Amino acid sequence: SKHPDPFHTLREVEILDAKTREKLCFLDKVEPHATIAEIKNLFTKTHPQWYPARQSLRLDPKGKSLKDEDVLQKLPVGTTATLYFRDLGAQISWVTVFLTEYAGPLFIYLLFYFRVPFIYGHKYDFTSSRHTVVHLACICHSFHYVKRLLETLFVHRFSHGTMPLRNIFKNCTYYWGFAAWMAYYINHPLYTLRSSAGETGARHLCGKEAGSATSPSTWPCGTCGPLVRSKTRKIPYPTKNPFTWLFLLVSCPNYTYEVGSWIGFAIMTQCLPVALFSLVGFTQMTIWAKGKHRSYLKEFRDYPPLRMPIIPFLL
């Protein structure tokens, strides 16, 4: 008779609460090649309130969460594995969050642009601004968020399928609040540009070019960026598309273009809320870019040394 395969010995999995050490679940006869995702599904059968996206399973109560693709037999555990559970709280899909936080500014800005009732006073209801820059600003702003919505649906790939539900309130407060603040002033009946006619024309041109031309340039970078997160995990390099050439100098050119577009929008509108939105956005994107840059340097030994996180040669 054949000897049993030692690598196919069925395992036992004990799941404890990471805080109280209370035993929550005991799974027997678990396949050794079972993934953490499959163990989460088994755990959900005994605790339906904790669906897989809410679960964080780890080998140590204060350790890092195990990845869904981790395989049981490859973990440093014996035939009986002890895993610690943490509840991540109510979750919501990234796609839903992005669609919500981007659709809001698009809709809110247009309310101010068309001067719907109860915003500026009855005599200004549905009136139109005499300034060309106001109409250009609406076109640029609307295009920017329409582009973001389309990217969310057809371009972006997400390393995690969900995020905590509470984040949607924080993100929407940021995007929706700033959109209303800047839209109120840009579309206000008393809005004027503080410059001479010549300077105004130059600012129109500069802002229009930066605000509308750099904004769509994030499209190719948005499609190149996920290559680093794909299964093959390659370093993204420039292609024949000139908008991807910034990959020669920065790790996150999509953030560089994003900052550039909002600086251009601030120049065009000469609006303080837009400048503040640009500053806050730049600060946050710099933090993200530095984090991604560090992970790229750690993962790829041959990562191009000339690249900076977000600003060529500086930052």
- pLDDT tens by residue, 236-282: 888 888 888 899 999 999 999 999 999 999 999 999 999 999 999 99
CB 202 within 8 A of CB 193: no
**Side-chain-facing half-sphere of 74: CA atoms under 13 Å:** 10
H-run or E-run covering 264: helix 253-269
Query: Positive or negative, the Cα torsion across 173, 124, 116, 134?
Result: negative
- The token pair at 242 is 């000139």
Please name each of the domains of the chain with its CATH number.
Answer: 11-89 (3.10.20.90), 94-187 (no CATH), 194-223+232-314 (no CATH)
Scan for tokens 């002890």, then name that residue: 82
- The token pair at 180 is 């209303």
CB 163 within 8 A of CB 92: yes
- The token pair at 183 is 């839209």
- In the prediction, which pLDDT does 2 show? 45
CB 96 within 8 A of CB 167: no
d(CA 122, CA 166): 37
- Phi–psi pair at 12, nearest 5 degrees: -115, 140
What pTM, to 2 d.p., does this model score?
A: 0.79
Burial (Cβ within 10 Å: 0-12, 13-18, ≥19) of residue 5: exposed
Torsion of CA 263, 295, 52, 223, to 10 degrees: 50
- In the prediction, which pLDDT does 228 show? 44
**Largest Cα–Cα distance of the chain, in whole Å?**
95
Q: Provide the 10 A C-beta neighbour count for residue 85.
A: 22
Amino acid, res. 216? P
Residues in the chain, pLDDT under 70? 1-8, 158-160, 195-232
- In the prediction, which pLDDT does 214 show? 43
Three-class SS state of 83: strand
d(CA 160, CA 29): 29
- The token pair at 100 is 């919500």
H-run or E-run covering 58: strand 55-58
Scan for tokens 């609307």, then name that residue: 142
